[in-house]
Amino acid sequence: MTDKNCIFCRILAGEIPATKIYEDDKMLVFKDIEPKAEVHLLAIPKDHFKLLSEADETRAEILKHMLLKIPQIAKDNGCGNGYRLVINQGDDAGQTVFHLHIHILGGEILPW
């Protein structure tokens, strides 16, 4: 499922350019255009859904796949000493793109 108004769906469709880091049949990882750390990647499912609360069994399998792939992607991109994963959920959490995504932050010591 895609949403023609979603910027991440448009990246997936090739309508908007992105610096792709990794892609398979379930997910895409690309560089964030407004990085908050030396390494700031976004991992998105190819299936459009907005929030974790919308995850059914199929989407849970996609999320599992993503979480199993992220450690190697992080390591391959300069996060060998550690990284942070962030999933913002809703307006109050600062979610600005309503397509579930996982921020991968690292490449430096991260303050909290």
- CA 73 from chain centre, in angstroms, equals 12
> Is there a catalytic annotation at residue 40?
no
The closest of 33, 68, 54, 40 to 98, measured between CA atoms, is 54
| Choice among 48, 99, 101, 103 that is catalytic | 101
Here the tokens at position 17 are: 């350019």
CB within 8 Å of 32: residues ≥ 6 apart: 40, 41, 42, 103
Q: Which residues are catalytic?
A: 101
